[in-house]
Structure 1
Amino acid sequence: MSSDKIKRGGAAETARSTNPVIAGFFPDPSVCRVGDDYYLACSSFEYFPGVPIFHSRDLAHWRQIGNVLDRESQLVLPESTTSSGGIYAPTLRYRDGRFHLIVTNVSGGGNLLVTATDPAGAWSEPTMLPGVPGIDPDLAWDEEGTCWCTVAGIGQVRLDPESGKTEGEAQRIWSGTPGAKAPEAPHLYRIGDWWYLMIAEGGTERGHGVSIARGPAPDGPFEACPANPILSHRSTDHPVQNTGHADLVQGPDGSWWMVLLGARPGGGTPGWHGLGRETFLAPVSWVDGWPVVGELSTQLPDLPWPLHPFPAEPTRDDFDDLELHPRWVSLRRRPAELCTTAERAGWLTLRESGGSLDDLNVTFVGRRQQHFSCEARALIDPAEGRGGLAVRLDEQHHYEIEAGNGSVQVVARIGPLRTVVAQRAVPAGPVILGVQVHQTDAVRDSRTGPDTVSLGVVEPDGTLTVLAALDGKYLTTEVAGGFTGRVIGVYAATGTVRFDWFDYEPIGG
C-alpha cells in the first residue's frame, strides 16, 4: 500500500481564544518574561526528552520550541523508572542574560539546575544540588544578589547557582493553611514593598488550590492572605478542576496574570480526565496588597494587547528530518540504535527493546493527546517484526492496535488484565492503523466514561474500519492514579518496524 493513497495532514488552527492555553498533558507550568517574550516550562515525568519549553508573545498563543533536558547526559532516567516518576515541577527564571531552570528528578539524582542563553537550547549540563531537599524547587534573587531556593514543605535554603552549594540547613518558613495537606509548588516574588510566597496545597486532585503569604524579607516572617485559597474549584461544578501549581507574570501592558494547571473531567461520577493536567491562564488584580484571581474560564477574556498567533504547524509528520520534532517523546531514553530516521530515508525505524507496552523499556515514540475528540493514523511496515499505534497512560493502562505476520490485533491493558480484544487478517505489506477518540456527548448514567477510544484499520478509500471501541475512562488518572495524561504514538513489540508517516488531527475543530 502506498503512503500516497491517503493524503492527510493539513495545518492545525492555532488562533486561540480558549483555555487551556496549552492543552494536553503539560502540568506544573512555570513562566518568565524577557522583554516582549514569554517562556514557559512544564513537568515531563518519565518521558524523554524532558521539560518541554514554550514561547509566546501574548500569553494566549504558545509554541513549543524545544525540550530543556534533551541529552541523556542531562536526564538520567533508570529503566526502573515507573510512570509518574522522573521529572517534577520545574521553575524557569531569567537573570543577567541567562535562563535558569531548576527541577527535581525523583528517579535519578534529586534536584538539579541547568542554564542557557537561548531557551530553545542548548542547555548546560546539570549542576546537581545535593543540599537542596525535597521537590518543587524555586529560585528567587534579592537585591543583594543572594539566591533563595524554596521547596515543597515549605522549606528554604540559600543557594549558589554556579556551584550548586547551599549555605546552612533548610529552614521551614511557612506551612500553608492549617489542616490543608501537601503544601508544595512554592514561588517567591518581590512585588512592591513585599515578598510574596505563593504555593499550591490541598493535593493535586479535586482539593487542589492556590494560597499566598507575604513578608518583609525573602525568608519572612510570612503572614497568610486572609482570603486563602485565592483560587480553588473544590466542591464546585466548574468545568476546570484540580486548579493549582500557579506562577505569576505581568502582561505586556503591566497587568498581572497567573498560569496554573487544571483538569477538565468528563463523563459521569467521579468525572475522568484523559488529557492530563493542562496549562491555563487567569487574570489577577491587586486589592489591599493581595492578589485576587479573576474568573478562570474555558474562554479567555479579551486581552488588552495585540495577539500574536504562530503560523499553523502541519498535523502530519513524514519523518523526513534527522531530528524528531520536539513534541515527540519516548520512554526514559531514546538511543539511536532503537529509534532513528536515518536508516531508511523518510521513515521512522523502531527496534524492539521491551516486548510490549506493559514493559518499562519498550521502544515507544508518541505525542500528547491535546483534544477531547481526535484521530491519529500511521502507516506501518511490519515486515521485520510487530508493532503498532497506541494510546498510552502508563504501563498498566493502554490500548493499542498492533500489526505483524499478516494480521492486526487490538490489545487492551487495564490494571492487571491484558486481553486481545479483536483480530483481523490483512494483506502482506504496509498497513495504515488508526485510532479515533470521541468525547462523550451525553451522560447516560453515573458510570458513563468521558470518551470512547476506537481502534482499527484504514481501508484504501480512507475509511477507518473499527475493530474495537473501548471506554476511555480506564485511561485516566482517576482510574490508574499518577500524574500524567495520555500520549498517542507508535511502538515496536518484536523485531524492527518502520513508520512512513504519523498524522494527528482534532475531530470537529
Structure 2
Amino acid sequence: MCKKIVKGLFLLGIAVLYGSHGIHAQYKSDVWVADCGDGTYKNPVLHADYSDPDVCAVGDDFFMTASSFGCAPGLPILHSKDLVNWSIVNYALKKIEPAGFYSQPQHGKGVWAPSIRFHNGVYYIYWGDPDFGIFMVKAKDPFGKWDEPVLVKEGKGMIDPCPLWDDDGKLYLAHAWAGSRAKFNSVLTVFELNAEGTAPISDPVMVFDGNDGVNHTIEGAKFYKRNGYYYIFAPAGGVVTGWQVVLRSRHVYGPYEVKTVMAQGDTDINGPHQGGWVDASDGESWFLHFQDKGAYGRVVHLNPMKWINDWPVIGNDSDGDGCGEPVSRYRKPLAGKRFPVETPAESDEFNSRKLGLQWEWHANYQDVFGFTSDMGYMRLYGHILSADFKNFWEVPNLLLQKFPAEEFVATAKLKVSAKDDGQKSGLIVMGWDYAYLGVEKLGEKFVLGLTACKDAEQGSPEETAVLAVLEPSARYEAGLRPNYEREIYLRVKVEKNALCRFSYSLDGKTFTEAGKVFQARQGKWIGAKVGLFSVAPCGKERGWLDADWFHVEKAE
C-alpha cells in the first residue's frame, strides 16, 4: 500500500501543502493548464463543463460555483488565489433536493445557474430548480460542511437567482424565468427577502423585459451595486450565439438602462456570456463566464473588465465602442504576484476513504452504488436494471467526471467480478449519445464488447459489437454459486472534435483498439462525461467492479 501511495503521488505530480484548512493536495493536469508560466494565461481557464459560473472574493481568496443539474454531489466549490489556477475543494450539496425525486437520473433538471456571495461572515449560494423553486444553502467555512438547503420560494419556472444586500440592510433577489415551465421567458424580476434570506416578503416586480426584439432569452441575472447604481449582469441571445448585457439604474426596481458590454465579434469564442464580476485585491475588475463547446460542455473563460462612465466594458474593446470581445490570452490578475500552478483533479488512485472531488454520480448517491476503501480500490456495485430496460439514460450509479481538455487519454485498471450471466462493468463516455467498453459474464467466460447508443433520451436501443472472449483471471466458490473475476485495462483516447477511440489491454502494456470511432455528444445541459459503470440484469444480484486507478494523461 505504501508503495502504491508514493507511486500515485509521483504519477500525478501532486504537492501536499499544509494550510489553515488542513492538508491540501495540489494537482497539475497533464492535459490542460491555463497558466502559461510567463505572467499570462490562456482561455479557457477551465476547459471543463462548469456551466453558469459565479464567483466571489473574500480577502485574498476567490470561490466559484457552477450549475450541477441532477448530478450529485451538487454545487461544486472551486478555490483560487489568482482566478487562473483553480482546484475543486468541496461541494455545497451532498444530495439534490428533494432527495427522493433525484434518487433517479433527472437529466437537465436540478441545480440551475447558482450565485455565490459572502455577507457578514457567511457564504450563501442561491439557485433555481425550475420544477421546485428557489433554494439557498449557506456555510461559515466553504471548505467544511454546508448547512441543509432551504426552499426559499416554491414554484415552477424560477431560475438563475442572485441576492443583493443593499446599503440599508435590505435584501433583494433578482431572477429569470424558464419558458419550459413558466410558459414565458425573457424577463427579469426582483423581490425582497427577509433578513435571514429564507423567504420572500414582497411580490416580484418586473425590472426588465427582453421581449424587445433585441435581448430575447435574457436570463442568468447577477445583482450588484456600485457608486450608487444597481447593476444586473445578464446574458441574452441564447447559449450558443448570445452576448453579455448589463442593466443599470439608480433604483432597485428600475427603470434600468441596458447596454451590451461583450460579444463574440471577430473572435472564435461563441456566446460569451453568463458569469460573474469580481474585483481582485489590487482593485482590478474581472469577469468569469462560459463558452458553449458542444460535447466539451460550457467551459470557463476569464476576461478583463474596466469601468468607463459607470459602465463595465468586458474583454478587449479595440474600437472603443464600449462593447468588448473576449480575449484568448492575457496577463494574469494580480500582476507581480506568483501563485502555484494547479488545476482541478482528474486522475485518481482510489487510495482515500473519500471519493475524489472530480467524481459525480448521475443521481443522488445511495449506499448500494458502492464504497471507497482502505484497500487501494473503489468498489462499484451493479445497478439492477428494470424489466423494460432500454438504455443507460436510466442508470443512476454512473461514476463520471467532466472532459478536462480537447484531447486526452483516460485509462482505468479494473477487476470485474460476477456470478450471474449478464452482469456487466466497464468504461463509459456518457451523453445524449454514449458508448462503453463492457466486460460481461456469459457462462464460464467473459465477453468484451463495444456498445453504442444514439439518442438515448428517446429510448433508443443499444448496439454491441463483440470484440473478444476472455478467460477469467480467477474463479472461487462463493456461497451457492462460484464467482468469476477478470482483470483488465480499459482506455479511451479523446481527440479533437470529441472523437473517441476505445482500446483494451490484458497486461497494461499492449493495447488493442476496440471497434469503431465514437463521436461524443453532450448530455442534457451538460457536457459529455467519462467514467465507470456496473449493471446487472433484472432479478439478479449485483456483480461489481473494483477500480484500482483511473489516469487522465496527455494523448500521444
Which interval holds the TM-score relative to the shorter structure?
A: 0.7 to 0.9
CA contact (8 A) 1:210 1:246 kept: no
Give a deviation string over 1:471-501, Cα, whole Å, max 9, x none. 42xx334xx6x31101111011222222232
1:466 aligns with 2:513: yes
* Structure 2 residue 438 is the aligned partner of structure 1 residue 402: yes
2:103–2:365 CA contact under 8 A, matched in 1: no
Alignment of 1:227-376 (within 5 A): 228=260, 230-233=261-264, 238-264=267-293, 273-295=294-316, 296-303=326-333, 304-310=335-341, 316-342=347-373, 345-355=375-385, 358-376=392-410
Superposed CA deviations along residues 226-276 of structure 1, whole A, max 9, x for unmatched, are xx2x1122xx66332122112111123101110101134xxxxxxxx2110
Partner of 2:490: 433
TM-score (normalised: structure 1): 0.87
Asked if 2 retains the 8 angstrom alpha-carbon contact of 1:371 and 1:506, the reply is no
467, 472, 493: which one aligns with 2:535: 493
Tell me the residue number matched to 2:12: 10
State the match for 2:467 in structure 1: 423
Change in CA separation of 1:113 and 1:200 when aligned onto 2, cut-off 3 Å: same
Deviation of 1:424 after TM superposition, in Å, equals: 1.2
Cα distance in 1 for partners of 2:43, 2:123 equals 27
Bigger drift between 400-409 and 95-104 goes to: 400-409
Larger Rg: 2
Q: 1:126 to 1:79 in 2, by over 3 A?
A: closer
Unaligned runs of 5+ in 2: 14-27, 36-40, 177-186, 317-325, 473-485, 537-541
The structure carrying a bigger helix percent of its residues is 2
Change (3 A) 1:257 1:354: farther
Q: What count of residue pairs does the alignment treat as equivalent?
A: 472
Partner Cα separation in structure 1 for residue 427 and residue 207 of structure 2 = 49
Q: Name the amino acid aligned to 1:45.
A: F
Contact 2:88 / 2:345 at 8 angstroms: preserved in 1? no
Write the mapping of 1:43-442 to structure 2, written as runs, cut at 5 A. Answer: 43-71=67-95, 77-79=101-103, 81-107=105-131, 109-130=132-153, 134-152=158-176, 153-160=187-194, 162=196, 164-176=198-210, 178-179=212-213, 180-205=215-240, 207-225=241-259, 228=260, 230-233=261-264, 238-264=267-293, 273-295=294-316, 296-303=326-333, 304-310=335-341, 316-342=347-373, 345-355=375-385, 358-384=392-418, 385-394=423-432, 397-405=433-441, 406-415=446-455, 416-428=460-472, 429-439=486-496
* Paired residue secondary structure (2:55): strand
Q: Deviations over 1:435-489 (max 9, x none)?
A: 11111xxxxxxxxxx23201121242523211124242xx334xx6x31101111
Cα distance in 1 for partners of 2:361, 2:466 equals 27
One-letter code aligned to 2:219: E
CA RMSD of aligned residues (A): 2.4
User: How far did residue 390 of structure 1 move?
Assistant: 0.4
What's the TM-score, normalizing by structure 2? 0.80
Task: Tell me the alpha carbon deviations over residues 77-111 of structure 1, each in whole angstroms, 9 at most, x when there is no partner.
Answer: 4356532212101000000000010012335x321
8 Å contact kept, 2:115–2:125: yes
In the alignment, the residues of structure 2 paired with residue 245 and residue 161 of structure 1 have an alpha-carbon distance, to the nearest angstrom, of 27
Matches of 2:257 and 2:526 in 1, distance apart? 34
What is the CA-CA distance between 1:421 and the residue it aligns to?
Answer: 3.2
| Alpha-carbon contact 1:339-1:351 (below 8 Å) kept | yes
Q: CA deviation at 1:370?
A: 0.9
- The 1:325/1:319 distance shift into structure 2, 3 A limit, reads same
**SS state of the match for residue 78, structure 1?**
helix
SS where residue 274 of structure 1 aligns? Answer: helix
Match of 1:270 in 2: none
Q: Which residue of 2 aligns with 1:442?
A: none
- Residues 27-75 of structure 1 show CA distances to partners (whole Å, capped at 9, x for unaligned) of 1011000011100000011210001110111111111101110146675
Corresponding position of 2:18 = none
Counting aligned pairs with the same residue, the percent is 20
> Is the CA contact 1:354–1:360 (under 8 Å) kept in the aligned structure 2?
no
Q: Are residue 35 (structure 1) and residue 65 (structure 2) matched? A: no
